[in-house]
Amino acid sequence: MITPKFPDNELERLQTLHALKILDTEPEERFDRLTRMAKRLFNVPIALVSLVDDNRQWFKSCFGLPVRETRRDISFCGHAILYDACLIVEDATKDERFANNPIVTADPNIRFYAGYPLKGINGSRLGTFCIIDDKPRKLSDEDLKAFEDLAVLAERELEAVQTSTLDELTGITNRRGFNTLSNFSFQMCKRHHLELSLVYFDLDRFKVINDTHGHLVGDNVLITFSRILSRELRESDIFARMGGDEFAVLFTNTSRKDAEFILERFQEKLDDFNKRSQAPYQIEFSYGIVSLNSKVHHCIEALIEDADQHMYEHKHQQDKT
């Protein structure tokens, strides 16, 4: 095993890292959604946003490991921040830097590692966005490009103010965050010929609830709707409040039939809530659902527009009944 060296600008790097005031903070959805996507898209057991501190690497987002930090001297990420490009280790047992590393010879038995250095605003490499497997593997050129694109999103989140991609009321992704993430998934699914389904929601008679019961009640309706729906979604699904009483969900690598099944399950949970709440109103919605058709949907905006149009058609039919 070779212990990673310190970068030449180590002092400046640590000052930049600590100035972010992000170390030892609680998990945040804006980072977790990226590691969830990486874990699902690349079919790996571990995905991390790792920040390399003075003598440890600490995980701002961690899927697949039971700990939030490990020693820097045995870390793969300590090596990755020495490079501007992505560090790829296809089989750690055949790499002299890692062959007898305790995290290779014992749990989590790392074999494959890909780590993209995350830079601060001054160019300092603060940590990595990385994926790990317990089996040797290779990334194709397309997969590497997709991985780097996703890592760049994590890098941007390090610099962004939390409210730039999160909806303040519901705490879920906002339109800006949804557009960024959904565009990435759209390109990935087109490139790899994967199924993609999008659902666009609009709450029914929401204005009446606001006008009759007040905006605080209306806010609670939005929060309740988002919470019930989020509980029925999978970790890899991208869910957002698009504005007002409109929401959207993007299902990656998912057929229309499977997306409709999730919607049916959500409708049952919402019906159950309406029965138990005894509120003088019902939380109801109209929706439009579309699946990716590469001949029609040349960009994510076209898919969203199509789903939005289907939603209004559904709402018009509902108003007639």
- With cut-offs at 50, 70 and 90, classify the pLDDT of residue 177: confident
The fold of the 175-320 domain, in CATH, is: Alpha-Beta Plaits (3.30.70)
Rounded CA-CA distance 117/86 in Å is 7
Which tokens in the block code for residue 148?
Answer: 């780097």
Helical (H) or strand (E) element with 147: helix 141-159
Rounded CA-CA distance 241/177 in Å is 10
Fill in the DSSP letter of residue 170. T
Question: Residue 313 CB: number of other CB atoms within 10 A?
Answer: 12
Helical (H) or strand (E) element with 291: strand 285-291
Write out pLDDT tens, residues 243-282.
999 999 999 888 999 999 999 999 999 999 999 998 999 9
Q: Residue 285 pLDDT > 90, yes or no?
A: yes
Q: Which residue has the higher pLDDT, 320 or 144?
A: 144
Question: Residue 97 CB: number of other CB atoms within 10 A?
Answer: 15
Write out pLDDT tens, residues 42-83.
999 999 999 999 999 999 999 999 999 999 999 999 999 999
DSSP annotation string for 54-86: SSEEEEEEEES-S-SEEEGGG-SHHHHTT-SSP
Secondary structure class of 275 (helix, strand, coil): helix
> Which regions of the chain carry the CATH code 3.30.70.270?
175-320
| CB neighbour list of residue 152: distance below 8 Å, 6 or more residues apart | 116
Q: Summarize the confidence of residues 201-214 as an average pLDDT.
A: 96
In this prediction the pTM is 0.63
Rounded CA-CA distance 92/69 in Å is 20
Write out pLDDT tens, residues 218-232.
999 999 999 999 899
Quote the pLDDT of residue 225: 97
Q: How is the chain split among helix, strand and coil, in percent rounded to 5?
A: 45, 20, 35
Write out pLDDT tens, residues 100-137.
999 999 999 999 999 999 998 778 899 999 999 999 99
DSSP annotation string for 205-251: THHHHHHHH-HHHHHHHHHHHHHHHHHHS-TT-EEEEEETTEEEEEE
Amino acid at 263: L
| CB neighbour list of residue 205: distance below 8 Å, 6 or more residues apart | 281, 284
Report whether 17 contacts 92 (CB < 8 A): no
Regarding the domain with residue range 10-160, which homologous superfamily does it belong to in the CATH classification? GAF domain (3.30.450.40)
Rounded CA-CA distance 39/32 in Å is 10
First to last CA, the chain: 71
- With cut-offs at 50, 70 and 90, classify the pLDDT of residue 320: low
Can you give the C-alpha Rg of the chain in angstroms? 22
Rounded CA-CA distance 129/152 in Å is 9
> Which regions of the chain carry the CATH code 3.30.450.40?
10-160
